[in-house]
Chains A and B, each alone.
Chain A
Amino acid sequence: MSTAPLTRTEMAQRVAADIPEGAYVNLGIGLPTSVSNFLDPAKEVILHTENGMLGMGPEAHGDEIDPDLINAGKIAVTALPGASYFHHADSFGMMRGGHLDIAVLGAFQVSASGDLANWHTGAPGSIPAVGGAMDLAVGAKKVFVMMELTTKAGDSKLVEKLSYPVTGLGCVTRIFTEVAVFDIDSSAAAATGVSVTELFGGATVASLRELTGLPLIDATSTTASTTALA
């Protein structure tokens, strides 16, 4: 176990380790995009970009840059052998239809029942912009959230109930933070939803219970944090 909280780079590495070969994956804009840097080149993982491509390759540089070939963040990218292009209704159909295995998203907050808030701060005067956030939240088989556990003010972003506007209800299955990995079982059968499966940088389940105010289940000794395809 590491002795310091994970850096953002290490968080990206940790997320990448849970993405198995053959997975169809959408990496959200921002921090989640960096996960692609740590996917094992020996494993074939097929990246989806919602503007209309499967088999997205790394960012384009120099002569590779083509204004007609961009990702959802409008960054010039490359296409791998085996790539395909499609229009927007097909792209979101493959998302909404449950064909994507994993979406990795950022978040303002996640609730103990897996509700996600990541599209709108609700602040007065802010211009609402949603993009594909709500589609990704409800569409992927597994929704991984990658975020720092606390706000700048020190408040937990893993909460009993969201205070930010909802993106999707009961959709988040795993949360990767700098101090712990959490699994959420939002099925009705689960007595309490959130388990701690890994700890980093000296955090303890007790300290996380205190921070979040949630009755977290200690699954650090029982859970193998690997993801199998459904």
Chain B
Amino acid sequence: MVSKIVDDVDAAVADIPDGATVMIGGFGQAGQPVQLIDALIRHGASGLTIVNNNAGNGEVGLALLIKSGFVAKMICSFPRQIDSQIFDEAYRAGRVELEVVPQGNLAERIRAAGAGIGGFFTPTGYGTLLAEGKESRIIDGRGYVFESPLHADFALIKAHRADRWGNLVYRKTARNFGPIMATAAAITIAQVSEVVPLGELDPENVITPGIFVNRVVLAAGKASS
């Protein structure tokens, strides 16, 4: 019997090594797998490269991971927010490196990695500071910049429901980066609000097929199969 259900969040992240590249789902708080991030902090792997749209809000989740000193580099589109004080301070103190990527290029780089694409030319960012040092090309009279795929060792994502095969459905705008990050990481770990029996998810409505998911953990604590 195939079951990707893991008993608890600590077991789910226990093999993340120092120096790993970890994608973390979410747009602000929506879709952020806070319990997996808390487990990652307890686990204590350091020198991490984190991929997320933002760089943490307030003093929870990703912000707390940065505060804990485990993050060496952030790859994100929008680090600066009214409540990103933990990142701001770490960045200004030189403790965290920053790679800023336009949001759509970030999403497409993740998608490309998961789809086996070796890179792509995008009009987004052409002629800007964020294209400096990158290959560019005029195609049919329009300028494009070459962007490379973005792979990860692990992806930590949040979904709404899962079955033991790892099929996932999301909830509203909390879907955001979850489906693409699930495809781009060697190991994808999904924190979910509910685990349902196999066959209960309508195949027409599965957003992330289980092939992209390695581990499922029930956020509230105990798992059922």
Interface of A with B (CB < 8 Å)? 49-53, 66-71, 74, 79, 85-89, 91-93, 95-96, 120, 125-135, 138-139, 165-169
Asked if A95 and B175 sit within 8 Å, CB to CB, the answer is no
Question: How far does the Cβ of B32 sit from chain A's closest Cβ, in whole Å?
Answer: 10
**Contact among B30, B98, B180 for A51, CB-based, below 8 A:** B30
Which 6 A-B residue pairings sit nearest by Cβ, starting from the closest?
A: A92-B104, A135-B104, A129-B80, A88-B107, A131-B78, A89-B111
**Contact among A79, A130, A131 for B172, CB-based, below 8 A:** A79
Closest to A87 in B: B179
On chain A, the residues within 8 Å of B69 by CB distance are none
Q: How many residue pairs at the A-B interface have CB separations less than 8 Å? A: 144
Asked if B110 and A52 sit within 8 Å, CB to CB, the answer is no
Does B70 make an interface contact (CB < 8 A)? no
Which residues in chain B, 168-198, are within 8 Å of chain A measured between CB atoms?
Answer: 170-180
On chain B, the residues within 8 Å of A66 by CB distance are 172
**A52-B27, A129-B78, A129-B81 known, 14 other contacts, Cβ within 8 Å:** A70-B27, A88-B27, A89-B179, A92-B104, A93-B104, A96-B104, A96-B122, A120-B129, A128-B80, A128-B98, A134-B128, A138-B123, A166-B128, A167-B128
Question: Could you show 26 A-B contacts with beta carbons less than 8 Å apart?
Answer: A50-B103, A70-B30, A86-B175, A87-B107, A87-B176, A87-B179, A87-B180, A88-B27, A88-B106, A89-B110, A89-B111, A92-B103, A92-B104, A93-B104, A96-B122, A120-B129, A125-B92, A127-B80, A129-B78, A129-B80, A131-B77, A133-B102, A134-B105, A166-B128, A168-B127, A169-B143
Question: How far does the Cβ of A62 sit from chain B's closest Cβ, in whole Å?
Answer: 18
Asked if B107 and A89 sit within 8 Å, CB to CB, the answer is yes
Closest to A170 in B: B127
Closest to B109 in A: A89
Closest to B142 in A: A138
A interface secondary structure, majority: loop
On chain A, the residues within 8 Å of B110 by CB distance are 88-89
On chain A, the residues within 8 Å of B102 by CB distance are 130-135
Question: How far does the Cβ of B169 sit from chain A's closest Cβ, in whole Å?
Answer: 11
In the assembly, what is the distance between CA of A68 and CA of B106, in Å? 21
Asked if B100 and A132 sit within 8 Å, CB to CB, the answer is no
Does B61 make an interface contact (CB < 8 A)? no
On chain B, the residues within 8 Å of A128 by CB distance are 79-80, 98, 100, 129
In the assembly, what is the distance between CA of A135 and CA of B105, in Å? 8
Asked if A70 and B173 sit within 8 Å, CB to CB, the answer is yes
Closest to A165 in B: B129
A51-B176, A135-B124 known; A89+B30 contact, CB < 8 A: no
Q: How large is the interface on B (under 10, 10 to 19, 20 to 34, 35 or more residues)?
A: 35 or more
Closest to A117 in B: B128
**Contact among B91, B108, B173 for A127, CB-based, below 8 A:** B91
Does B56 make an interface contact (CB < 8 A)? no
On chain B, the residues within 8 Å of A96 by CB distance are 104, 108, 122-124
Closest to B32 in A: A67
In the assembly, what is the distance between CA of A131 and CA of B79, in Å? 9
On chain B, the residues within 8 Å of A126 by CB distance are 80
Asked if A68 and B31 sit within 8 Å, CB to CB, the answer is yes
On chain B, the residues within 8 Å of A131 by CB distance are 77-78, 102-103
Asked if A165 and B128 sit within 8 Å, CB to CB, the answer is yes
**Contact among A53, A92, A169 for B108, CB-based, below 8 A:** A92
On chain B, the residues within 8 Å of A68 by CB distance are 30-31, 171-174
In the assembly, what is the distance between CA of A89 and CA of B149, in Å? 13
Closest to A98 in B: B123
In the assembly, what is the distance between CA of A120 and CA of B28, in Å? 20
In the assembly, what is the distance between CA of A129 and CA of B82, in Å? 12
On chain B, the residues within 8 Å of A167 by CB distance are 128
Asked if B77 and A52 sit within 8 Å, CB to CB, the answer is no
Binary interface profile of B, 36-71, with partner A (CB < 8 Å = 1, else 0)? 000000000000000001000000000000000000
In the assembly, what is the distance between CA of A128 and CA of B101, in Å? 10
In the assembly, what is the distance between CA of A40 and CA of B174, in Å? 29
Does B88 make an interface contact (CB < 8 A)? yes
On chain A, the residues within 8 Å of B79 by CB distance are 127-129
